[in-house]
Amino acid sequence: MKIERLLQPRILASSINVKNPIVMAPMTTFSGNPDGTVSEAELSYYKARSKGVGIVITAATYVSLSGKGFPGQFAAYDNSFLPGLKKLAEAIKGEGALAILQIFHGGRMAIPADIPDGQTISASAVAPERPGAMTPREMTQAEIQDTIKAFGETAKLAIEAGFDGVEIHGANTYLLQQFFSPHSNRRKDHWGGNVEKRMNFPLAIIAEVKKVVKENASDSFIVGYRFSPEEMENPGITLDDTLLFIDILANQGLSYLHSSIMDFWQSSMRDTKTTSPIICKILDKIHGRVPFIGVGSIHTPEDAIKALDSGVDFISLGREIIMDPEWALKVQSGKISEIRTTLSKTQEKELDIPAPLWNAIINTPGWFPITE
């Protein structure tokens, strides 16, 4: 009977029917075309992985030329990208899943060689703590407003392309997190200072996206927000900072919140004296006000059921869906023992994994369990 919990329909944002609580997590493929359009290999990859799951959240797409964060990242900053985005939405929805486009700007983590003038931008002129990192230029007031508008324009493209929603990417050290972080944001104006002021930029983007959605889409269009609970830099985002932010986010009329952590049950990275799972603190703070998607090393159906028992509304699977595109279908058909938990070096074509992503997997020791 417990397996039934992974098959039961869910309601998102009070009116959106989702066939089950299994979400394909957003993961970059490095596989877009050189001109930033969606590639045929990506369409095949997403089509294969949209079978059985309730929701697919795409890899992050960048909202302006200055925001490209990955080699082979597909773009969505003007109408020229609309045909490919339409094909992507159709590939996902054609298999019965809801299609959500993750929208993002890399900020100081963008690729210098791939952005205008080769100069990264961010909340402040503070370099990331990594070898050889460029010091970004502090964004002007005009650039901040232009970027807010760009998120809205990309949300409009998502609507026109037929996506069911967008996820605003506020996690994983990218621009929205950079404004929230005391490490990367040293501003003293409206956009920085105390923790409440550091929320202003992501909240302005949420407001702009919601405004565009209200003007151009139905009430069933999904707007989610993803966040990272902590960062290791000093000064850096603390769990207390994030809980304050979650308290505000939960009242923004969002369709869901989505954490980004490596292990669903992990405790604080910064406060080693606290051993209780971060996820429990997040759920306590949300207090049922907005649906929550949990993530992190959920490998088996048993792991997924245990995660749902914590009180999260949905669970997102990343590496698991790459290794086994039919993960959800095998749960539904009772073939749990057949769920693939390792990758063989011979399975690239069989699993519809684009070559750039396959090469990243094979050449990143410890990322995936790989067999010969």
Cβ–Cβ under 8 Å, residues 229 and 280: no
3-class DSSP state of 282 = helix
DSSP state of 136: P
Q: Where are the domains of the chain?
A: 2-335
Average pLDDT over residues 336-358: 94
H or E segment and range at residue 137: strand 137-138
Interval 243-258: pLDDT, tens: 999 999 999 999 999 9
174 in active site: yes
| HSE, side-chain direction, 13 A CA sphere, residue 348 | 13
> 107 — phi, psi (to 5°)?
55, -130
First to last CA, the chain: 36
Confidence grade of residue 15 (pLDDT, cut at 50, 70, 90): confident
| Multiple choice CATH, 2-335, 3.40.50.2020, 3.20.20.70, 3.40.1210.10, 1.10.3720.10 | 3.20.20.70
**Catalytic residue (choose from 45, 46, 77, 174):** 174
CA dist., res. 204 & res. 148, Å (int)? 7
Average pLDDT over residues 40-62: 98
Confidence grade of residue 271 (pLDDT, cut at 50, 70, 90): confident
Confidence grade of residue 223 (pLDDT, cut at 50, 70, 90): very high
CA dist., res. 107 & res. 183, Å (int)? 14
Q: What integer pLDDT is reported at residue 1 of this predicted model?
A: 59
CA dist., res. 298 & res. 245, Å (int)? 26
Average pLDDT over residues 293-301: 95
Handedness of CA 226, 232, 236, 237 (dihedral sign): positive
Confidence grade of residue 203 (pLDDT, cut at 50, 70, 90): very high
3-class DSSP state of 57 = strand
Q: What integer pLDDT is reported at residue 286 of this predicted model?
A: 98
Mean pLDDT (the chain) is 96
Interval 182-199: pLDDT, tens: 999 999 999 999 999 999
Interval 124-178: pLDDT, tens: 999 999 999 999 999 999 999 999 999 999 999 999 999 999 999 999 999 999 9
The pTM score is 0.97
Look at the chain and count its residues: 372
Confidence grade of residue 72 (pLDDT, cut at 50, 70, 90): very high
Q: What integer pLDDT is reported at residue 53 of this predicted model?
A: 98
Average pLDDT over residues 286-302: 96
Residues in CB range of 238: below 8 A, 6 or more apart:
230, 270, 271
Is it the case that residue 320 has pLDDT exceeding 80?
yes
Residues in CB range of 240: below 8 A, 6 or more apart:
none
